[in-house]
Structure 1
Amino acid sequence: MLDYYDISGCYIIRPWAFKIWKAIQRFFGDAIEDLGVDDCYFPMFVSSKVLEREKDHIEGFSPEVAWVTKAGQSDLAEPVAIRPTSETVMYPYFASWIRSHRDLPLRLNQWCNVVRWEFKHPQPFIRTREFLWQEGHTAFATKEEADTEVLQILDLYRQVYEDFLAVPVVPGKKSEREKFAGGLYTTTVEGFVPTTGRAIQGGTSHCLGQNFSKMFDILIENEAKERVHVWQNSWGLSTRTIGVMVMIHGDDKGLVLPPRVAAVQVVIIPVGITAKTSQEDRKALAAKADELVKDLRKAGIRANSDTRENYTPGWKYNHWELKGVPVRLEIGPKDLAKNSTRAVIRHDSSSQDIPLATLTSTLSTLLETIQAAMFTKARAERDAHLIRLETWDKFVETLNNRCIILVPWCEREACEESVKERSARTAAEQSGEDEDEKAPSMGAKTLCIPFKQPEDGVKHGVTKCFACEELAKSYTLFGRSY
């Protein structure tokens, strides 16, 4: 899926992974176009003068901003930054494009790369110094319109994960401490990796309020002839999606790809060939495999055949299992005689015989069944690791059991900071090791305040915060994260 590059934290995305990104692009790109969002492209460079106009925003990114200071052998008169995100790149131009309420809504999206010079240990797809993403930037006349779009986009992100990548996510709102720097509020879809017990932020949709429009003088004359600031959103989804999918579905044999995003959904391998097999029979098997590929492709199934004669069937099985192809079809002389093929399913290693007469229809149904089964399995595993607690007593113990935790919480920033510090300290004491500053934190933080609260949720004025004596405002998801 990728190769390592000679600059730490940068990776080469190979075609097997990039085709998954293209599948996400097609779905999401079509969906936002239907909502009225237009694609555009802005330069990757931003001047220090513009970047530093929004103080809270740049403070949130400043440790990660990469600067260009030289051109050839000459120092630049003014260093330029490589975009970590594009609010400050785009909004000066929003100010000149938007004059009246008739110019709204303005809804733009760009597919591009950004650079964030992370100092923690890089992890392929998950935490990289350069990554690909889409970033949407929109402006509205009213907060109500902005609020509506925030949730529309967040649900599209949920669909990317759940409907395409077969990854369950929890939609919710970020805490004040974890929200986007300079924004009004942030919504998120949070994933979970059972093998590590860590959550991962899947995609975020932010309401920026009027903070940026005030900084960049983005004003309209409304219907009452008043000069008012616009309401803005930004939202983004990155190639991190691929890493989340790999970690949740992969096994000891390699990748396990959901059919809807797999570059190859079905691979056909001739089998039953021995030293006694005639050249004519070998050619007949290879021709049949190629014929089936054509039939499947006509039916919209992404199929390939592996008719290479210098590799054994066993080697080919391993090769395509490692790549995560959802279905392997084996066809040999005996199968041809019976007019059938043997199908082996990657995600659960089950197998079944399929008559060639019904191959396309059977495989179409089978691929959808696999997609649903992968999601059901991942959701059941996630749910088994999502534990509800009411008090602090077993909090760190539950974290150490590789779980995320739903608790009643007061929503105070000081409390969240205390939880992170206390949980990290307790974990270090229990392990007897100091925390690695470059590794993901052992402290817990808020993941999100889920939109779907427990039916017997917080009793206002009665329920106490799990970590302090303040009254709880919501049930909030805490955990260790990437």
Structure 2
Amino acid sequence: MNKEDIGITISKKEDFSEWYTQVVLKAKLADYAPVKGLIVLRPDGYSIWESLRNTFDKKFSKNGVRNGFLPVLIPESLLGKEQKHFAGFNPEVFWVTHSGENEVGDRLALRPTSETLAYTLYSKWIQSWRDLPLKINFWNTALRAEIKATKPFLRTSEFLWQEGHTVHTTKEEAEEEVLKILDIYKKTVEEELAIPVTTGKKSEKEKFVGAAYTTTMESIMPDGKALQMGTSHFLGQNFSKPFEVKFADKDNIEHFAWQTSWGISWRLIGAMIMTHGDDQGLVLPPKVAPIQVVIVPIYKNEESKNKVMTKSQEILDKLELQNIRTHVDDRDELSPGYKFNDWELKGIPIRIEIGPKDIEKQTIVVATRYNREKTNLGFDEITKIPDILEKIQHNMLEAAKIQAEKNTKEITDYSEFKSNIEKGGFFKSPWCGKIECEEKIKEETSADIRVIPFDSEDSSRKCIYCQEQSISMPIFARGY
């Protein structure tokens, strides 16, 4: 028997990291590539990514964003036009130095991010206020040298993501765009992946290199580590000036444009695995599940097989008419018990079991994956399946919210902070706003400011580190 056919062999609480890797591999979402730091996305994993992509595309389109394509190679001389931004990525850049046997001359970077390339082109495409706003999104890959501490979906040297780059005539319009995108991210992650997020700003120290400021959404994972789920940056004119992204206004007076950039990556899939998975394997939210309902026919001989398979096909047809992604497991060489375990490992939201006795009673057995409960439904009640899926989606989000709340604490005493940080979690603590305190906390505890939630201003307390007056209650945590 192939190793990947064996179920999860370690509990989530016992060894979270090993459990996570086993789920990724054994649920057949991804596999390791021959090159260290890279993974291969298998069909079920890619299907989840496609589902997210389709949802984001619809929402981006309603916001006036269109998709484009950018090449993966960026000349070093081009990156050098924005030194501060490029310096932040320099240690992670892969370089192409040869074409065949010949040196290329100007080294070519394998895209760590696309600001410099996109804005060189934007400076050509934008002439007048009539060309704005310009809103383009790129679905592509990025490459960053994550060789030492790789983990599928969370830290890999190449990853799938989308990066949006918009250009506006006014600061106000660009800042409004930043928040619109962040809201799209938040709603999609909560509604599709059933993962609660906290939104706000990054500190000056943690913001995206080159941004005026960065807004972010953060989640706390079951092991107590924070995960950045997506960012939306207000770039101001920090890129438009070096790249000469300018426009002539209605009076033909030239101005530098105002810009934003924003992105999410396939680490959302990693967050979904960690948030919902259990000791049996993957648990998929119905909205992104490649298969929402699997039908497992149970029979002992050819006569019963024909009856059960015929009824299984009828049920599949009815469910597909309701736009439910359904599959009949007709593998003869495997026992029903093996199939049950296999589909539980893969996290399929609903399993329908049907055998000769069920047909006699005009019922089916419905097993829900997220809570492992079984109920009976009459043949005439199959129309209830969409409602059951909706309930599962809702309940998974509510369970994740409870889990996040348990992992979130308000701590104002630094000694208590240090003693609790080892256990993990989100810590809401008062902060004076000084980078010196932020750096000292990071140095002494390995925790950083993950997000300064919107409306978290607080001047009624003392900074947890220096005891001077606080300005806000950011969330500190150790992260992935």
Q: Name the TM-score class by shorter chain.
A: over 0.9
1:323 aligns to what? Answer: 346
1:450 corresponds to which of 449, 453, 461: 453
Distance 2:199 2:212 in 1: 18
2:16 aligns to what? Answer: none
Q: 1:337 aligned to 2:357?
A: no
2:288 corresponds to which of 242, 252, 261: 261
Deviation at 1:251, TM superposition (A): 0.7
Q: 1:233 aligned to 2:260?
A: yes
Where does structure 2 lack aligned partners over 5 or more consecutive residues? 1-28
8 A contact 1:171–1:187 mirrored in 2: yes
8 A contact 1:197–1:399 mirrored in 2: no
- RMSD over equivalenced CA pairs, Å: 1.1
Distance 2:103 2:251 in 1: 51
Task: Give the 4+ runs in structure 1 shifted more than 6 A.
Answer: none
Percent of aligned pairs sharing the same letter? 41
1:369 aligns to what? Answer: 391
Deviation at 1:391, TM superposition (A): 2.2
2:158 corresponds to which of 121, 130, 152: 130
Write the mapping of 1:351-430 to structure 2, written as runs, cut at 5 A.
351-359=374-382, 361-423=383-445
2:247 aligns to what? Answer: 220
Which letter maps to 1:217? E
1:142 aligns to what? Answer: 170
Secondary structure of the residue aligned to 1:379 is helix
Distance 2:466 2:187 in 1: 36
Secondary structure of the residue aligned to 2:415 is coil
1:38 aligns to what? Answer: 66
Q: Number of residue pairs matched?
A: 452
Distance 2:94 2:139 in 1: 20
Secondary structure of the residue aligned to 2:113 is coil
1:433 aligns to what? Answer: none
8 A contact 1:188–1:201 mirrored in 2: yes
Deviation at 1:296, TM superposition (A): 0.6
After TM superposition, the score normalised by the length of structure 2 is 0.92
Q: 1:477 aligned to 2:464?
A: no
Q: Which deviations, in whole Å up to 9, do the C-alpha atoms of 1:318-350 show, x marking residues without a partner?
A: 110000000110101111011110001101111
Distance 2:187 2:161 in 1: 17
1:68 aligns to what? Answer: 96
Secondary structure of the residue aligned to 1:217 is coil
Deviation at 1:224, TM superposition (A): 4.4
Judged with a 3 Å threshold, the aligned counterparts in structure 2 of structure 1 residues 265 and 233 are, in CA distance, closer, same or farther, namely same
2:228 corresponds to which of 201, 204, 209: 201
2:52 aligns to what? Answer: 24
Secondary structure of the residue aligned to 2:413 is coil
8 A contact 2:141–2:160 mirrored in 1: yes
Q: Which deviations, in whole Å up to 9, do the C-alpha atoms of 1:174-222 show, x marking residues without a partner?
A: 000110101101001101111x210000000000000100010111222
Secondary structure of the residue aligned to 1:213 is coil
Distance 1:404 1:415 in 2: 18
Distance 1:191 1:340 in 2: 41
Deviation at 1:452, TM superposition (A): 4.4
After TM superposition, the score normalised by the length of structure 1 is 0.92
Q: Which deviations, in whole Å up to 9, do the C-alpha atoms of 1:258-290 show, x marking residues without a partner?
A: 00000001111112x34xxx4211111112112
Where does structure 1 lack aligned partners over 5 or more consecutive residues? 424-442
Distance 2:474 2:251 in 1: 42
Deviates more, 1:12-21 or 1:282-291: 282-291
